[in-house]
């Protein structure tokens, strides 16, 4: 039986269910000191002084360090592969602690104490004197002349502007009879809300620094800690244990450099940084709020003549992943609904908000909300059915993108749309719901997306791994693409078992914990790359291991390696399948051979020079209670073509989680800031409305398995894609139900009240009187 394509239990399921899995806090050495961070209470200011005397006097406080104590070494934080080309390196704009406060919550000092209470008391006792500066929160206001400036190196606050031109937009729009649909769309600042807040601890050992951290990217963290502390990268050892989710927040270097530096300031003692939920919301990373201005020119028969899109991406205070998100967001438009004449522009702009970084979907949930809202509005302008309009215009079969090398081999968009429409019973329900005229109205909506699997050709794509044949015939496997809760270790076990020829995925011992001193270098968990990228290296290393196994078996059994194969953990004759030697016998014989002792291992690196389109759609059915300004999601389905599934049950779980995130993005989640002070208002899980089980309908996950031709295992992206199309599908369903097109998310009751009032669906007589 094939080992891939099976819904086997996760390799870590038992320990996780039993509470045995060890996260960073479970590995904490005794007597670790607590580092607690003083966050600025101004949105934009210079720290003039910090009086530490009261804090230092508190019993248990070991040391107080401020922004006046840190080395003057700016460092970047993005979890991107290093580039040897200085022009492509991430912006280095952070210090360990900052005198120039750029957002409400910026890090300005730390208190190191024997216990948590003393550390917190110390932070509260710090007296800070600020020189206040004007601040700006809005992305377009930050671009205006005279706006407060955040970084000297970036006058005008624009981190980067890129564009993309196709055909001749200015000429194309002169075509007679075109219909123009021009609108603005706005997406919010949201946060990842992984269960485990970020945390880490650090200590010195034999002159080197060890950091155990809740990260997605241990090898990149090693590089950045080295950069930030001005130490050779080999001086740093990063250990990544199991983590409680990351969703991209931990694809950034967070407080590892600060933690490592604090350890060096207290004689190498172990120090710990544990972010609270409130800190996680503000002082880690958030998703970019992106504002869109879209103008689409339509022909009456339902084709798109030309399109102009402007994306304004709110970067917040520090560059982090920077323009990569807006660029990816912008790039999606030209391929999603291709047309001959395009003008695309994107700006990434600093503001006095928390720094935006990577978050599941990396610009695509924003793009999808704007694009799929606009496409819906286009269909409405034409009086066409939105399903039919999409079928006419969405990326055609055989579409090829020269830059990424991606091809739409199977017409996946239309296959996904057909399957989704069939599940939700689109045609019948659309007709039935059209008759709703009461206070509660039903509606149905859809949205599509495409997604790049990996980061080629923008960045390096490489994966390394190591396979060791154990004496019992099992295989130990190590790689740098991390398990972050998504189930990567289980997929690797299945792929290794398949590629080597083991009898079960349980015969693969995946070393989940990465240690940069030991684990082959990999880039970590990001994009939607792990299964795709690791697959190339797994096949290559498995071939090497099999070669060694067969050579060893052939030598010991006086046979020819070419005649042998490994099947179900046994070396067999290819000709008739008869057993030659089991892997355990072979491993023992080879290891304990008194003359030619041999430990059978293999290790290799594969550089991937391809990428793959992943496709999908969402259909949502809603009930809108107009007077109560409430939306109930009745039914929701995602259909994905992510290639061949390695583990269908885990794939469905990915989809469920992504749909949940999309529901929050669509209807409830938004980080709010006080306009007068820049202070975050709702950085806690009570006031930040993460959606709950009680807000979810049954989440249906369906797949179309067109094997990806470039992948050894036929796979492509599924990690991020499920978050992309849910929000616009909900928006379009609400539009279908009520006739009100809402161009900003989250579409929460406050927004519905305003929009329904404006549309005349709600009339508060007493308001008109006043």
Partner 1 sequence: MYDIKAIYEAESVEDAVELRLAHPEAQIIAGGSDVLVQIREGRRAGKELISIYGIDAMRGVSIDEEDNLRIGSLTSFSHITNNPLVKKICPVLGEAVDQIGSPQIRNIGTIGGNTCNGVTSADSASTLHAWEAIIELTGKNGIRRLPIKDFYIKAGTVDIRAEEGEIQTAVLIPKESYENTFGHYIKYGLRNAMEIATLGCSVNVRLSPDKRVIERCRIAYGVAGPVPMRAPSAEAVANGQAPTMALAEAFSLAVLEDINPRDSWRAAKAFRQHIAVEMAKRALIESVKRAGGEIA
Q: Considering only 110-118, 139-147, 384-392, 520-528, which stretch makes contact with partner 1 by CB under 8 A?
A: 110-118
Q: Which is nearer to partner 1, 40 or 602 (CB)?
A: 40
59 forms part of the interface with partner 1 (CB under 8 A): no
d(CA 497, CA 598): 22
Q: Considering only 113-121, 261-269, 520-528, 572-580, which stretch makes contact with partner 1 by CB under 8 A?
A: 113-121
Q: Considering only 55-63, 310-318, 650-658, 686-694, which stretch makes contact with partner 1 by CB under 8 A?
A: 686-694
List the one residue out of 332, 424, 362 whose CA is nearest residue 635: 424
CB of 193 to partner 1, least distance (A): 12
Q: Which is nearer to partner 1, 486 or 668 (CB)?
A: 668
- Number of helices and strands (H, E) in the chain? 20, 27
Q: Which is nearer to partner 1, 149 or 757 (CB)?
A: 757
List the one residue out of 274, 357, 297 whose CA is nearest residue 323: 357
CB of 206 to partner 1, least distance (A): 31
Q: Which is nearer to partner 1, 404 or 670 (CB)?
A: 670
431 forms part of the interface with partner 1 (CB under 8 A): no
What is the SS3 assignment for 760?
coil
Among 156, 302, 338, 749, binds partner 1 (CB under 8 A): 749
Residues 597-626 that bind partner 1 (CB under 8 A): none
d(CA 146, CA 143): 9
Q: Considering only 445-453, 589-597, 723-731, 759-767, which stretch makes contact with partner 1 by CB under 8 A?
A: 759-767
CB of 603 to partner 1, least distance (A): 44
CB of 681 to partner 1, least distance (A): 5
Q: CA separation (Å) from 478 to 220, 251, 677?
A: 17, 20, 49
Task: Tally Cβ neighbours within 10 Å of residue 203.
Answer: 22
CB of 668 to partner 1, least distance (A): 6
Among 366, 748, 755, 761, binds partner 1 (CB under 8 A): 748
Q: By CB under 8 A, how many residues form the interface with partner 1?
A: 33
CB of 753 to partner 1, least distance (A): 5
672 forms part of the interface with partner 1 (CB under 8 A): yes
d(CA 228, CA 210): 15
Among 57, 184, 674, 707, binds partner 1 (CB under 8 A): 674
**CA angle, residues 206, 275, 154, in degrees to nearest 5:** 90
Among 83, 577, 628, 707, binds partner 1 (CB under 8 A): 628
d(CA 413, CA 421): 12
- Measured over all CA atoms, what is the biggest interatomic distance in the chain, rounded to whole angstroms? 100
3-state secondary structure string across 424-441: HCHHHHHHHHCCCCCCEE
CB 374 within 8 A of CB 340: no
CB of 665 to partner 1, least distance (A): 14
Q: Considering only 77-85, 423-431, 474-482, 666-674, which stretch makes contact with partner 1 by CB under 8 A?
A: 666-674
CB of 61 to partner 1, least distance (A): 14
627 forms part of the interface with partner 1 (CB under 8 A): yes
Among 115, 127, 607, 677, binds partner 1 (CB under 8 A): 115
Structural tokens at position 582 = 């089991």
- DSSP letter at 8? P
Q: Which is nearer to partner 1, 204 or 695 (CB)?
A: 695
689 forms part of the interface with partner 1 (CB under 8 A): yes
d(CA 632, CA 627): 13
CB of 689 to partner 1, least distance (A): 5
Contacts of 739 (CB under 8 A, 6+ apart): 759
Structural tokens at position 697 = 């309908």
Scored b (16 or more CB within 10 A) or e, 171-200 reads ebbeeeebeebebebbbbbbbbbbebbbbb
| Residues found near partner 1 in the complex (CB under 8 A) | 115-117, 120-121, 124, 627-629, 668, 672, 674, 681-682, 685-687, 689-695, 748-750, 753, 762, 764-767
């Amino acid at each position: 039986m094939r080992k891939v394509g099976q819904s086997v239990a996760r390799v870590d399921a038992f320990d996780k269910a039993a509470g045995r899995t060890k996260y960073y806090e479970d590995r904490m050495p005794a007597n670790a000191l607590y580092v607690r961070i003083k966050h600025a209470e101004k949105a934009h200011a210079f720290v003039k002084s910090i009086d530490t005397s009261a804090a230092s006097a508190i019993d248990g406080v070991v040391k107080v360090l401020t922004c006046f104590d840190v080395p003057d070494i700016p460092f970047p934080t993005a979890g991107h592969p290093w580039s040897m080309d200085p022009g492509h390196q991430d912006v280095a704009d952070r210090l360990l602690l900052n005198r120039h406060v750029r957002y409400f919550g910026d890090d300005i000092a730390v208190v190191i104490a024997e216990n948590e209470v003393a550390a917190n008391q110390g932070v509260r006792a710090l007296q800070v004197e600020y020189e206040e500066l004007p601040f700006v929160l809005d992305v377009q206001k930050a671009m205006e002349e005279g706006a407060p400036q955040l970084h000297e190196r970036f006058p005008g606050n624009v981190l980067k502007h890129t564009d993309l031109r196709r055909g001749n937009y200015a000429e194309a729009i002169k075509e007679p009879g075109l219909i123009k649909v021009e609108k603005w769309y706005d997406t919010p600042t949201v946060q990842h809300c992984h269960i485990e807040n970020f945390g880490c601890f650090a200590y010195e050992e034999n002159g080197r620094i060890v950091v155990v951290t809740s990260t997605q990217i241990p090898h990149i963290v090693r590089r950045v800690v080295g950069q930030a502390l001005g130490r050779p990268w080999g001086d740093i050892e990063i250990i990544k244990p199991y983590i409680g989710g990351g969703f991209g927040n931990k694809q950034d270097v967070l407080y590892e450099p600060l933690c490592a530096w604090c350890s060096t300031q207290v004689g190498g003692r172990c120090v710990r940084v544990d972010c609270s939920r409130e800190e996680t919301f503000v002082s880690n990373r958030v998703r970019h709020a992106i504002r869109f201005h879209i103008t689409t020119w339509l022909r009456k028969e339902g084709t798109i003549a030309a399109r102009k899109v402007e994306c304004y991406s709110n970067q917040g205070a520090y560059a982090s992943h920077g323009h990569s998100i807006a660029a990816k967001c912008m790039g999606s438009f030209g391929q999603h609904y291709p047309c001959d004449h395009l003008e695309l522009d994107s700006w990434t702009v600093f503001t006095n908000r928390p720094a935006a970084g990577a978050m599941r979907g990396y610009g695509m949930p924003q793009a999808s909300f704007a694009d799929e809202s606009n496409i819906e509005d286009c269909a409405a302008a034409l009086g066409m059915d939105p399903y039919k309009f999409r079928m006419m215009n969405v990326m055609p079969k055989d579409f090829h993108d020269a830059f990424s090398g991606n091809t739409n081999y199977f017409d996946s968009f239309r296959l996904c749309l057909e399957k989704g429409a069939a599940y939700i019973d689109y045609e019948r329900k659309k007709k039935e719901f059209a008759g709703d005229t009461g206070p509660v109205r039903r509606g149905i909506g859809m949205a599509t997306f495409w997604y790049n699997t990996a980061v080629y050709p923008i960045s390096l794509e490489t994966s390394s791994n190591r396979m060791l044949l154990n004496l019992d015939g099992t295989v130990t496997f190590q790689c740098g693409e991390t398990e972050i809760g998504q189930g990567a270790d289980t997929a690797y076990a299945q792929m290794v078992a398949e590629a080597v020829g083991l009898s079960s995925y349980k015969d693969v011992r995946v070393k989940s914990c990465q240690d940069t001193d030991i684990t082959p270098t990999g880039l970590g968990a990001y994009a939607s790359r792990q299964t795709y990228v690791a697959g190339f290296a797994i096949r290559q290393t498995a071939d090497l291991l099999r070669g060694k196994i067969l050579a060893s078996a052939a030598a010991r059994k006086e046979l020819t390696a070419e005649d042998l194969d490994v099947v179900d953990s046994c070396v067999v004759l290819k000709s008739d399948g008869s057993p030659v030697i089991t892997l355990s016998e072979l491993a023992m014989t080879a290891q304990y051979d008194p003359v030619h002792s041999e430990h059978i291992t293999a290790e290799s690196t594969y550089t991937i020079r391809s990428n793959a389109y992943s496709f999908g759609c969402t259909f949502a059915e809603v009930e809108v209670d107009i007077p109560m300004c409430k939306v109930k999601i009745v039914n929701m389905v995602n259909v994905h073509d992510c290639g061949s599934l390695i583990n269908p049950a885990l794939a469905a779980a990915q989809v469920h989680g992504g749909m949940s995130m999309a529901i929050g993005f669509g209807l409830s989640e938004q980080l709010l800031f006080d306009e007068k002070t820049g202070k975050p208002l709702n950085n806690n899980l009570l006031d930040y409305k993460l959606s709950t089980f009680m807000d979810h309908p049954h989440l249906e996950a369906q797949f179309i398995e067109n094997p990806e031709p470039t992948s050894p295992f036929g796979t492509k992206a599924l990690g991020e894609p499920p978050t992309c199309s849910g929000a616009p599908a909900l928006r379009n369903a609400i539009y279908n139900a009520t006739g009100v097109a809402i161009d900003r998310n989250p579409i929460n009751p406050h927004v519905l009240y305003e929009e329904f009032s404006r549309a005349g669906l709600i009339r508060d007589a007493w308001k008109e009187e006043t």
